Structure 1
Amino acid sequence: MDSLLLEQNPILLEDETETDEADQEENPEPEQDGALENDTTETAPKGRSGGMIDSEVNYSAKDSTFFNKGKVFLYGDAQVSYEDVQLTAHQIELDLENNIAYAVGTVDSLGVEQGLPVFKDKSGEYTMRRMRYNFKTEKALIEHVVTTQGEGFVVSELAKKNSDNTYFLEDGRYTTCDNHDHPHYYINMTKAKVIPGKKIITGPAYLVIEDVRIYPLMIPFAFVPTTSSYSSGFLMPSYGEESNRGFFLRDGGYYLAASDIFDLALTGDLYANGSWGLRTASNYRKRYKYSGSFNAQRITNVTSEKDLPDYSKSNDVSVTWSHRQDAKASPFSTFSASVNYSTSSFDRNNVGSIINPEILAQNTKRSSISYSRQFPGTPFNMSLNALHSQNSRDTSINLTIPDLTVTMSRIYPFKKKNRIGSKEAWYETISVGYTGNFKNDIQTKESDLSFSPKSLSEDWRNGARHSVPVSMNLKLLNFFTLTPNMNYTERWYFRSVEKAWDATEQDIVTTDTIQGFNRIYDYSFGVSTSTKLYTFFTPSRTLFGDKIDRIRHVMTPSVSFSYRPDFGDPKFGYYDRFEYYDEDRDQIVKHEYSLYENTLYGVPGRGESGSMGFSLGNSLEMKIKSDRDTTGFKKIAILESLNFSSSYNFLAEEFNLSNISMSGRTKVLGTNISFGATFDPYALDTTTTRSGVLNVTRVDKFEWNEQKRLARLQSANLSFGFGFGSDTFKKRREERTGEGSETDIPEDDPLDIPDDNPFADDEIPEDALSMGDVDPLEAGEDGYAQFEIPWNVSFNYNMRLVPDSFNEAQMAYNHKVTADISMSGRISLTKKWDMNLSTGYNLDRKEISHTNVRINRNLHCWNMSFNLSPFGRYKSYFFTIAINSSLLRDLKYEKRSNPRDNPNWF
């Protein structure tokens, strides 16, 4: 300790000599110790000789301050400051002659330490039990110091501080556990040097778990960075073994802290059988400008050995990119990107130890890169997009590069700019809009995708479309809104096709593709109107009492008429014709085809059309008295929507009436239910060919005339989902006890006033459950434990009814039901335990879908997790115990199996 005692130099308070001489003249007795009043603040000035301290020492105490022979004793919230050094403690002894401060805490009657010394300087803040500090040399001797370094804590029973703010420790502890006195684990550093805010250098170190030293886990030396800013460095790989791919090193690489704007991580995998993977990941952010992330992966999986029948090698890639522009960056333009592209087999071949059922169930991936711009002072907007979608089941891909759209918002060319008192004339409601679109896209298989000049010319589709809608609004009898409209559409294509009958192949073939500019246009006229009808019903008071105030039925009928000329007329030149003999060569077949088949925007339809479209929307709601407020009411939706729609073409030669569509939505006991169906009003007939094959054809006869049915069911769908949990029952209890809140409406709000959005329901769905961090054994106000376990369960059901085999007896198709049930649940047994389950069942295939069980245990500074897929192709498990801190993420234990090791994987 003597090596830490600093240069001893006398120090005198200001005017101390003059005061002593005056006291000796007036009071010849020896000087007595004195006590100052409570909460005093004094200053020790700078010394007058070169050996003294250079700045003032300020000190104060809340309880009392005593002086005794050049020493100052401070009690109760004592503070001493010198330049940029500040020391606080319950008790501080300040030796002004030797420039030394000695600080200690205290222990209360319950044995709890209080007022421990806290030392602050430019290197950081440190808590300790005792400290001896020299102001002149800035050296100190510390007992039981605790300091935060990076994500961890450094604790040492004895430490020495040098003037350069470095600390030397003996038998120190490094841990990320905030329980300093008794951490769950720590790295025992026999000798260490700490440079605050930069690094920790240690000699031999051991891992200690629950006070048990793990001798095999010893390192001869270590270097731990503790800088607060991120830095570059190597990423240590994990190792293991798989039965198919052999030994492996995984997720090893290098992390580059490139700048404050972006970083870059390069990692890779290597397997003994020749499989390998390479990944790059980057995050970037520029304040008030943009932010995003980019990830790219390349994996090669090798199966079996060369020259064996089951040998295979797959190459897969994946690219994901997300870019977001800050709203403050530009008020008139935006740029965003959401790219998710991969080869169709990537998700299956890149499966990891933890199986994500959502990714495995995802058959379609979509991407978009968008740029949009507004032109201030004009009605024009512009957007430029690149779009991508792919199906991993059939490896089909749809790519659009670019997709340019220019729009003009509706303008009213005849409206008066400065209206004074006059009523708006009918022609002032005329509005004109414009939408222009240019596309270049391809629909093909993943293996056939090409960007070569030949493919761009022959396989890719391109063209432009211009649409000009003109409409006006007229009020009719104050109850109807009449909307006449006219639509003009023009398409630009850059090639057309010619077809003919190939007698050799007995098939229709394309004989020529003609390059050149083609202008195609069409137009239509129409008018539409709609209104709302309200019907009220008061239930029988004898049967239902006065609980139900009334029931309201809202109907929204709408009717539209449209006319379109026959653009299949030869004068337009959009279609061509040729003739050929049928397969029996006894009848001439006339075939008509479009010169612009398989184009982006289609071709104007053949046949003159004069159609009437009609639809009917319905909603049913009930108004009942509130249980808690005798003057209020609340609204309940019995049927949120039930819609029917169809159309009738007066000018069609056959099948004038189109299919009837029905859709609906409601809620029962908190469960959202959606349903829909399609009905065909026309009958079916059968014929038998010479070879005995039964042909089923649709005939121009109504089902009612043939089978006494209004219409024939074609397809239907039904889906519903509901969830409940601890919060659901808690809400019910609050409603019964009156603690919850309820949205009521005042009694004087008349139900019979028509409203465009009646009975608006703003309640939070009951299935939106939260999982609060509740301790199930936490004591309540009555002193007894509150046994509350947060949990929730959700179910989803999807059913589809599709045609299957034909039933001649009923002259209708039998239907096949395909349905899926999915379930997910979560329960927190305690604040530390968390369990999750997701599974499902396919009723058509009669098999359980991918099932995943996840169990997590918070071990304070550690975390334990267990993931299990108990059966199926992805059968596997993954168990790990790891430190929560990312700084020591490699300090973990893992036990796993890989789905690729399953016998039924390939």
Structure 2
Amino acid sequence: MSSKTFNIIIRFRMLSKRSVLLSCFSSFLFAALSAATTAEISNAQVQDTIPQSSVPAFDELALPSAVETSDSLAAGTDTTKKARPMFEAEIQYGAKDSVIFDRGKVHLYGDARVSYLDVELKAYYIELDIDSTLAFAEGYIDENGEEKGLPVFKDKSGEYTMRRMKYNFETEKAIIEHVVTTQGEGYVVSEWAKKNDDNSYFLKDGRYTTCDHLDHPHFYINMTKAKVIPGNKIVTGPAYLVVEDVKIFPLFIPFAFVPSTSSYSSGILMPSYGEESNRGFFLRDGGYYWAAGQYFDLSLTGDIYANGSWGLKTASNYRKRYKYSGAFNLQTITNVTSEKDLPDYSKSKDFSITWSHRQDAKANPNSSLSASVNYSTSSFDRNNVGSIINPEILAQNQKRSSISYTKRFPGSPFNLSVNLLHSQNSRDTSINLTIPDFTLTMSRIYPFKSKNKIGTKERWYETVSISYKGNFKNEVKTHERDLSFTAKSLSNDWRNGAKHSIPVSMNLKLLKYFTLTPSFNYNERWYLKSIRKSWDEEAQKVVVTDTVGGFQRAYDYSFGVGTSTKIYTYYRPIRALFGDKINVIRHVMTPSVSVGYTPNFTDPKYGYFDHLEYYDVRSDRIVKQDYSIYEGSIYGYPSSRESGSIGFNLGNTLEMKLKSDRDSTGFKKVAILEALNFSTSYNMLADEFALSRINMNGRTKIFGTNISFGAVFDPYALDSVQVSPTTKSVQRINSFEWSANNRLARLETANLSFGFNFGADTFKKKKSDDAGNQSDDQSNQLPEANPLDDPDALEEAVLPVLDVEPLEEGDEGYAKFEMPWNISVNYNMRVIPNTAKFDPVARKFDYKFTADVSLSGNVSLTKKWSINMSTGYNLERKEISHTNLSISRNLHCWNMNFNMVPFGAYKSFFFSIAINSTMLRDLKYEKRSHPRDNPNWF
């Protein structure tokens, strides 16, 4: 019988007499025993099944007087005054090992379970008293001293684990020993608890913690008396903090309220506190959180300082499934320095707006809206305490924002995009704002291509393609203090206009190896104003004297033709010197030549240019000058010079083919030079400076490191030119370098950048195919046991006490030691001319080098220790850039962080030990110094 599981369903009708109830119970009991067809169960058989002393008698459970009441569990003792309990539904119970019926009681052993309505009880042992509607449950202790089969009680309020429990099905009350339940992000543990019929619990000496070491938590809040309403809140009387079994009596509270709702809800956000020597005592990030609904939330917080500084913040997250999601943050800070009437007194106001929005791809396949807004005053990051220890924010001088909407029109080649753009520089407070940037494009179409093509050869006119791009912009370039949206500013300071571009091209095959590409480009600009200039005799300079409003258009066009091909060169290294590892080296050159023609649009018939003639006293001559009436416009103006240019471009790649080590018959390609490009152009119709500057750029990879480089060469010489009777200026002259200085060209600028990462994984030895393999004889040999060592007992007895993880065994039987680390190094160098130093003999400027080296790294001493560092060095200024060091330690349910800026304007430190759970985020210790306290603060 012990090997079978019995599931007996007992149904009771609504009867009020005890005799009828007992009669029904006897009938069902007899039917169950008859159906089982088993022999009588003796006490000896039960003793063989259940561990000794694991199940005490039902009446042996001693309950504490603090929670024991006379009527807590008794369903009713006087049958003449009170009707017997009636069941409203069926009771289901069963066990894996055995079920014993004994005078109105059912004893269930081994994975026992009882369920009634929405109540379910599971344990190793359950005693069910049908007559009194009581149930008793507990687990047992195995031979290793571990508790097994502990009772698990589940109802509509949640799930609870306990050591022992006595439950009344009628009153829904219970007495519980050592209950454990999850409430929100934390756990509630109590040695004794009383359950009420409203599913609330009264606790004595309960513990609330977020540490999952429930038997021995690293910390907990000891609640002398408490009431737990599952899924809602925890209310406690006097409580104090216990850390590592040490009572922290100064952290004593007379009462507490802990929300434990499973769903997010509104509530007060407690502020953090601290002190700065400059701004005094403070309360930060205190306010209110509003759980507005399932689509968005909102938090309103504030900061206040003793010296009068203050700040306000609002943050919101929103999300609609399969539609969109985003976050919005707005902050304003008023910083007060020193005291009024003192020389160093100042008051600054800063604000910041960040907004991110993303549309789900499933929402609309033909249109999308996205936003990435990051705007703030230039001094916000410096004054915001949150960015002091963040080197990435401090090094961010440029901020950009964009709001984009795109629309695709199915079945047509047209696409529409609308953008709002912003960029600012926090050093010089310059700002560029574009509201809006409207673009309509038509993808390339082939108007003459036959839809019902006959034959395989394509006609030349079928390669003619045409596309369109229309753009409208309204932008301003100014400084923060001058930014304005008034009508006067929009008219005078903002630039706006529209541009239409229609390129037409075709592709032709020429002599089998060349591709010929004729093209025609038409551009038209629309403006709402133009300018007129005149000569200011008093200031001796050209000034704008008038702005003419009204719709105006300016068009231009150009012709061009280009061709390109590829040239392959192969080189086989000398086998005697290089062996047969290198199979072949291939050099691929991609030369291209283009010819373009642009007319001169200064002819008066176009009306794009005006003529200005004046007498310059400084040069003592009459100056004749043509200027464009669209000078300074957003899309420029048509060309003032006739141009017939030839463009040259040469691309190079170099790679070699090596024999593969893994495949004796295969090869692999290795790039020696991924790209090396040269480009320039020559204007055949120019009177001077016909040859443009020569541009060079390239990239390669050495030992896994990406290296990019570039340079600009000027083919024309420099010389001192007399610009006035008393002044000379160094200018380009219309003389080539090879004729003036015996140089092919003069280096103007150059740049080089590379970066590489290396770490513990970089230096790991590659395992060979037979490494670590042993012969069958060796693998079957077992090492001799050392009677003095017992690693299993050591792990079970010592490691849990020390809260450390067992050591992982390495390949050679020793403890596996790993310390992951990584270092990243980046180098950026630029060579620019020093215009203040001109060498008259070499006729060139001296060069000025500027270079930055940045270094960052991290190391994990153990799985719970982490160290991060970032720094840099500027070779031109010979100073160390912003340096940051951070150390963190995972303390299981706590976390320790130390951040330090050791020197510089942002010299500061920040130390904190805090609980990981957001529920108790204010239970922490912080110590910080602020960069404002430094003498060299900005």
Indicate whether the TM-score tops 0.5. yes
Is 2:372 aligned against 1:343? Answer: no
* Counterparts of 2:31 and 2:436, CA distance in 1: 96
Question: What are the residue-to-residue correspondences of 1:287-366 with 2, within 5 Å?
Answer: 287-352=321-386, 354-366=388-400
Gap change, CA 1:782 and 1:130, over 3 Å in 2: farther
Residues 330 and 353 of structure 1: CA distance in aligned 2, closer, same or farther (over 3 Å) = closer
2-structure distance, mates of 1:491, 1:87: 81
Name the CA shift for 1:650/1:776 in 2 (closer, same or farther; >3 Å). Answer: farther
Shift of 1:370: 1.0
2:533 corresponds in structure 1 to: 499
1:775 positional shift: 7.9
Partner of 2:893: 861
* 8 Å CA contact 1:8, 1:98 repeated in 2: no
Question: 1:490 aligned to 2:520?
Answer: no
Q: CA deviation at 1:318?
A: 0.8
Distance in 2 (alpha carbons) for counterparts of 1:604 and 1:128: 86
SS of residue in 1 equivalent to 2:734: strand
Number of residue pairs matched? 852
**Structure 2 portions without partners, runs of 5+:** 1-15, 51-82, 773-803
Q: Which residue of 2 aligns with 1:43?
A: none
Cα distance, 1:54 vs structure 2: 2.5
Task: Report how far residue 96 of structure 1 moved.
Answer: 2.3
Cα deviation 1:331-352 (Å, max 9, x = unaligned): 2111111111111111112133
Distance 1:225 1:604, change over 3 A: same
Asked if residue 481 in structure 1 is aligned to residue 502 in structure 2, the reply is no
For residues 509-520 of structure 1, the aligned pairs below 5 Å read 509-520=543-554
2:826 to 777, 793, 796: 796
**2:766 aligns to what?**
733
Q: Is the contact between residue 776 and residue 829 of structure 1 (CA under 8 Å) also seen in structure 2? A: no
Partner of 2:62: none
Q: Say if 2:107 and 2:128, in contact at 8 Å, map to a contact too.
A: yes
1:397–1:445 contact (8 Å) kept in structure 2: yes
SS in 1 for 2:385: coil
Aligned residues: CA RMSD: 2.5
Q: How does 1:292-441 map to 2 (within 5 A)?
A: 292-352=326-386, 354-421=388-455, 423-441=457-475
State the TM-score, normalized to the length of structure 2.
0.88
CA distance in 1, matches of 2:522, 2:575: 58
Secondary structure at 1:542's aligned position in 2?
Answer: helix
What is the aligned partner in structure 1 of residue 670 from structure 2?
Answer: 636
Q: Is the 8 A contact 2:388 2:931 kept in 1?
A: no
Moved more, 486-495 or 327-336: 327-336
Contact (CA 8 Å) 1:245, 1:272: kept in 2 or not?
yes
Secondary structure of the residue aligned to 2:710 is: strand
Shift of the 13–253 alpha-carbon distance from structure 1 to 2, 3 Å rule, reads farther
Conservation of the 8 A alpha-carbon contact between 1:776 and 1:787: no
Q: How far 1:499 sits from its partner (Å)?
A: 0.5
2:177 is the counterpart of 1:147: no
Q: What amino acid is the match of 1:817?
A: F
Deviations 1:68-102 (A, max 9, x none): 22222222212222222111111222222222221
| Secondary structure of the structure 1 residue equivalent to 2:576 | helix
Aligned partners of 1:129 and 1:818: how far apart in 2?
72
The 3 A distance-change label for structure 1 pair 825 and 50 is same
Deviation at 1:21, TM superposition (A): 12
Stretches (4+) displaced over 4 A: 7-15, 17-24, 29-39, 688-693, 734-739, 774-777
Corresponding residue SS for 2:87: coil
Q: Which moved more, 1:470-479 or 1:823-832?
A: 470-479
User: What is the alpha-carbon distance in structure 2 between the residues aligned to residue 337 and residue 239 of structure 1?
Assistant: 35
User: What amino acid sits opposite 1:826 in the alignment?
Assistant: N
What residue number does 1:537 align with?
571
Contact 2:295–2:318 (8 Å) recurs in 1: yes
CA contact (8 A) 1:686 1:694 kept: yes
Match of 1:16 in 2: 26
Q: Secondary structure at the match of 1:428?
A: helix
- Deviation (angstroms), 1:612: 0.9
Letter matched to residue 487 of structure 2: P
- Separation of aligned partners in 2, 1:777 and 1:786: 7
Asked if the contact 1:184–1:209 (Cα under 8 Å) also holds between the matched residues in 2, the reply is: yes
Report if aligned partners of 1:353, 1:877 keep a CA contact under 8 Å in 2.
no
Q: Is the CA contact (8 Å cut-off) linking 2:387 and 2:393 kept in structure 1?
A: no
| 1:371-419 deviation digits (Å, cap 9, x = unpaired) | 1111122211111111111111111111111111111111111111122
Give deviations 1:846-898, integer Å, cap 9, x for gaps: 10000000000000000000000000000000000000000000000001001
* Partner in structure 2 of residue 122 of structure 1: 156
Q: What SS class does the counterpart of residue 128 from structure 1 fall into?
A: strand
Q: Distance in 2 between matches of 1:243 and 1:258?
A: 39
Shift of 1:421: 2.7
Structure 1 residue 64 displacement after superposition: 2.1
Within-5 A mapping of 1:36-435: 51-352=85-386, 354-421=388-455, 423-435=457-469
Aligned pair in 2 of structure 1 residues 524, 38: CA closer, same or farther (>3 Å)? farther
Contact kept? 2:85, 2:133, Cα under 8 Å: no
Q: Give the equivalent residue in structure 1 for 2:781.
A: none
> Which secondary structure does the structure 1 equivalent of 2:766 belong to?
helix
Q: Distance in 1 between matches of 2:28 and 2:901?
A: 87
- The question of 1:626 aligning with 2:660 is answered yes
Q: 1:453 aligns with which of 465, 483, 487?
A: 487
Q: Please tell me whether residue 889 in structure 1 is matched to residue 921 in structure 2.
A: yes
Question: Hey, what does 1:753 align to over in structure 2?
Answer: none
Give secondary structure in 2 for the equivalent of 1:358.
helix
Note the C-alpha offset of 1:13: 8.1
Give the whole-Å Cα distance in 2 for the aligned partners of 1:297 and 1:737: 62
**Matched residue type, 2:823:** V
How far apart in 2 are the matches of 1:19 and 1:856? 65
Q: Is the 8 A contact 1:33 1:66 kept in 2?
A: no
Measured after TM superposition, the shift of residue 628 of structure 1 is: 2.8
Aligned with 2:329: secondary structure? strand
Q: Which digits, 9 at most, give the CA deviation of each residue in 1:650-704, with x for residues without a partner?
A: 1111111100000010111111100000000111122356765442121111111
Separation in 2 of the partners of 1:184 and 1:208? 8
Find the aligned partners of 2:460 and 2:141 in 1 and give their Cα distance: 90
Q: CA deviation at 1:736?
A: 8.3
Residue type of the partner of 2:829? M
Q: State the alpha-carbon separation in 1 of the partners of residues 681 and 253 from structure 2.
A: 81
CA deviation after TM superposition for structure 1 residue 18, in Å: 8.9
CA shift in 2, pair 1:38/1:171, >3 Å: closer
2-structure distance, mates of 1:31, 1:344? 86
Per-residue deviation, 1:778: 2.7
Cα distance in 1 between the residues matched to 2:906 and 2:753: 27
Q: CA deviation at 1:32?
A: 7.5
The match for 1:871 among 890, 903, 906 is 903
Structure 1's 75 and 584: CA in aligned 2 closer, same or farther, altered over 3 A? closer
2:386 aligned counterpart, secondary structure? coil
Contact 1:246–1:272 (8 Å) recurs in 2: yes
Give the superposition deviation at 1:61.
Answer: 1.7
| Residues 497, 527 of structure 2: 8 Å contact kept | yes
Partner in structure 1 of residue 502 of structure 2: 468
Give the letter for the 2:381 counterpart.
D
Unaligned runs of 5+ in 1: 1-6, 40-48, 740-773
Is contact 1:496-1:595 (8 Å) kept?
A: yes
Q: Tell me if structure 2 keeps the 8 A contact 1:35–1:67.
A: no
Partner-residue secondary structure (3-state), 1:483: strand
Q: CA deviation at 1:427?
A: 0.6
Answer yes or no: is 1:817 the counterpart of 2:849: yes
Q: Percent identity?
A: 69
The whole-number CA distance in structure 2 between the counterparts of 1:273 and 1:798 is 44
Q: Is the alpha carbon distance of 1:736 and 1:564 closer, same or farther for their aligned partners in structure 2, counting shifts above 3 Å? A: farther
CA positional deviation for 1:734: 4.3
**Equivalent residues in 2 for 1:770-809 (5 A)?**
777-780=807-810, 783-804=813-834, 805-809=837-841
Once residues 214 and 276 of structure 1 are traced to their aligned partners in structure 2, the CA distance between those partners, rounded to angstroms, is 33
User: Could you tell me how far apart the structure 1 residues matched to 2:347 and 2:243 are?
Assistant: 45
Per-residue displacement from partner, 1:577-633 (whole Å, max 9, x unpaired)?
222222246321122211111101001111111111111111111111122322222
